[in-house]
Amino acid sequence: MIKVVTLQHIYGKNRDRMAGLLKTLVENELKNLEVKVEISITPENWAEYTLEGEDEEVSANLLVSRYGTPAKKAEPGKVYMGFLQAFGEDAFLVDIGIPVRIEAEELKALGSGKPKQLALRFGLIPHLPVEVEIIETNKNVKARFTKKQLDTLWSWKKAATDRVTVNGVTRSEIKRAIKKTGHGRDIYEIERLGLLEHAIVCQEKTDGPGIVAAIGPYLKSDLGVVIGDGR
């Protein structure tokens, strides 16, 4: 029997449902291997898998290579995957296994404004997966977004369409909310960002804030909106 903790964030009120979705996802990925999978949630809200069977070691290696593991320490110059946690007055907080700060100085790459204003402008909400590079590990661990991450965020902002970011719900739940509100024709696609994190890409003439106002009451989620500058 092997236990492995992966960089898969479990959050929200219905954490058991999220854990169940992750278990189904992982079982599907390991379906050709001889292994039994159980899932639990660590005190830090990461997914922990108990693997038992002939291929338990191979399965553990596959999960770690696919999802990574929460960092126990951060090294300057290294790139880590993590999740947006909060947006303070002077920094973004990111969870990579340990708390990391992206301070206002490093956020200038997103333009002018305070951290909370930048988060609003780029549709950033808690639990969105992000890629960061560590720049300092003294008192506080400090980081910046990687070029790849910045390119993604700017591609959203410069697009000819608005985007709505959503966390804590499945793709089918988003589709159901869109259908209920009669906005099916206003949506181009639903882009998967993480397991329960998505970006709803609007049609060119669709108003993103209007979509937020319409579907918000049907989704128990944080919602963000990016107004495409190319509109």
Residues 51 and 96 in one domain: no
CATH at residue 143: 2.40.50.140
Would you say residue 33 lies in a domain?
yes
Please give the chain's pLDDT, 231 residues, in tens.
999 999 999 998 778 888 998 999 899 999 999 999 999 999 999 999 999 999 999 999 999 999 999 999 999 999 999 999 999 999 999 999 999 999 999 999 999 999 999 999 999 999 999 999 999 888 889 999 999 999 999 999 999 999 999 999 989 999 999 999 999 999 999 999 998 899 999 999 999 999 999 999 999 899 999 999 877
138: DSSP letter: S
Residues 163 and 144 in one domain: no
Residues 124 and 91 in one domain: yes
Report d(CA 94, CA 76) in Å as an integer: 16
Domain count along the chain:
3
Residues 50 and 88 in one domain: no
- Identify the domain boundary among 120, 148, 176: 148
Report d(CA 175, CA 165) in Å as an integer: 14
Residues 87 and 36 in one domain: no
Would you say residue 47 lies in a domain?
yes
Residues 56 and 114 in one domain: no
| DSSP codes, 93-135 | EEESSSEEEEETTGGGGG-SS-HHHHHHHTT--TT-EEEEEEE
Report d(CA 213, CA 114) in Å as an integer: 25
- 26: tokens are 């992982």
Would you say residue 190 lies in a domain?
yes
Residues 26 and 84 in one domain: no
Report d(CA 137, CA 101) in Å as an integer: 10
Would you say residue 72 lies in a domain?
no
Residues 96 and 140 in one domain: yes
- Identify the domain boundary among 67, 90, 122: 67
pTM, 2 dp: 0.90
Would you say residue 73 lies in a domain?
no
Domain that holds residue 32: 2-67
108: DSSP letter: G
Distances (CA, A) of 77 to 130, 169, 190: 16, 34, 34
Residues 16 and 62 in one domain: yes
Report d(CA 6, CA 69) in Å as an integer: 4
Q: pLDDT tens across 158-215, in order?
A: 999 999 999 999 899 999 999 999 999 999 999 999 988 999 999 999 999 999 999 9
